[in-house]
A and B are shown apart, each in its own frame.
Chain A
Amino acid sequence: MNNVIKIMIYTMRDQMRHKSFYVLLGLSILFILMIRGCYDGGYTVNGKMVDTATVAWHVSKIVFHLIAAGMFLMVSMLSMKIFSRDHGDGSTVLFLSRSVFRWQYVLGRVTGTWALCLVFMFILHLTIFLTVWVKTGTVISGYLTASLVCSINLLFVIACVCFLSLFMPDFISALFTMGILFVGFISDGGYQIINSDIVRSAVPSSTNWGPALWRVVYPKVFMLQAYADAIISRSEFHNMGPVHPLLNLSLFILLIMILMLVCFNRKEIG
């Protein structure tokens, strides 16, 4: 078996041994149990009964994004200590004293964490999907596809946190990455609001000015989230600039991974 796959499997096992993983697992289960109630009752808006399926659909969309946001925190926590913990507990020496290339080690660690979080997030989304189906009989097509699309965001966060953790304290690297996401949230969120049907109809000239270049090339984490939303809603997706967020993030991930491999290759071990 290839060394990358071996290290990836070890990483998944190792991550599942840490307390933080079980804390997050417990919180996720609690969250799912809590929102189950939203699908049970009847809802009245302005004295009119609202269709249960409509409520379920809206709730599921909100929950979709809440799960994704929670996963950002989870992947940051799981990935910020990868290199420092490995350095401290002898795992780096374990792998690199064998015929393992450094890029194999880095790639194995990153993809292992990603695979674990991807499965974790997919299971959470799948649980919502099944809950809606069982309780209301509604199948939200695109829900699971959107979950897989959002997993690219997780890979970006993991790559970013791991890369930054080579230069700065673990917690600061996670915080810095959250800062990057927050700036994107403001920039892309603003763009989505300006391009929303309500604002467009109210202020027709609102979309006359194009966004600044930095906003166009900025990591499109929030925009990918909006794209996933559009998949679930089957609505029009308003992209910022000519590059699709999937391609934008893929390029950023590639760039960060290359930089990380170059930097890790120069790192002194032991």
Chain B
Amino acid sequence: MIILDSVTKKFGAFAAVDNVSYSIQKGETFALLGPNGAGKTTIVRMLLDFIKPSSGSITINGRPASDPESRRHIGYVAEQHMIPPYLSGFEYLSRHASLIGLSGNDAAKEVDRVLKIVAMKEPQRKKSATYSRGMQQRIGLGAALLGQPSLLILDEPITGLDPIGIREVRKILENLHGKGVTVILNSHLLSEVEKTCETAAILYKGKILIKDTITSIVKDHETLEDVFVRYIEHENE
């Protein structure tokens, strides 16, 4: 379970996240929505302790986010997932496997397993400098899936993927949902969010406008996109 309690993050005088509180239950597939600069990525970075909140607290499965142990079972895909150019996809995944405590055959098997999931078998031995954006994103997703994580944090995971890749990611998320994995998804692709997530929060200028189940947010004859635009326009008035 993830709890954000009155979390504020300020960069100088600017509040990127302003007194945000919410909780995400185990097994929930949760979407963080909002226009650019709303504070979505800042929240993700705070969950991973890449940046510290100015005030408030974040707890992941009973541990503060500042405790590295809280990340033991977290898989993370960054918005623009970067792989050191001198590493091959296989080496990159092997490092992740080693850091989550896998070694030898277990690590090799696990790397093979995720490479099959993200449909990347052939170019895995080439240096990542030769990878396309979509390939880097797939390897990033593979790294996040290593070791059966209980929480997956995906920051714009389908950016750079082709339609087939997007469908594969959707399948992966559906599969994980079936296994009780908690997923936090940051995305601009609202149609995808509508298909894959159960709950969502709309964030604007660092504040949460609404957090509810997708079915409650989206009224009859509306799409999530309509609701999103309605909320943002209302705030802009």
Q: Interface on A for B, CB 8 Å cutoff?
A: 1, 3, 6, 10, 14, 17-18, 88-91, 93-101, 266, 268-270
Contacts and interface: CB of A to CB of B under 8 A. Distances in A.
B74 A97 contact: yes
B175 to A, nearest CB: 22
Most buried by B among A17, A98, A100: A98
Contact of A94 (B45, B51, B96): B96
A270 B69 contact: no
A200 B111 CA distance: 69
B45 A270 contact: yes
Given A6-B99, A266-B52, A270-B50, 11 more contacts: A89-B82, A90-B82, A93-B50, A93-B82, A96-B48, A96-B50, A98-B72, A98-B100, A268-B45, A269-B45, A270-B51
B84 A269 contact: no
Most buried by A among B70, B71, B82, B96: B82
Contact of B72 (A93, A94, A99): A99
Contacts of B143: 94
A14 B86 CA distance: 8
B188 to A, nearest CB: 19
B14 to A, nearest CB: 14
Nearest to A269: B50
Contacts of A96: 48-50
B68 A99 contact: yes
A89 B96 contact: no
A76 B173 CA distance: 46
Contact of A100 (B45, B50, B68, B70): B68
A29 B84 CA distance: 29
Contact of B99 (A3, A17, A89, A266): A3
B59 to A, nearest CB: 16
B45 A90 contact: no
A97 B95 contact: no
Given A17-B86, A90-B82, A95 B51 contact: no
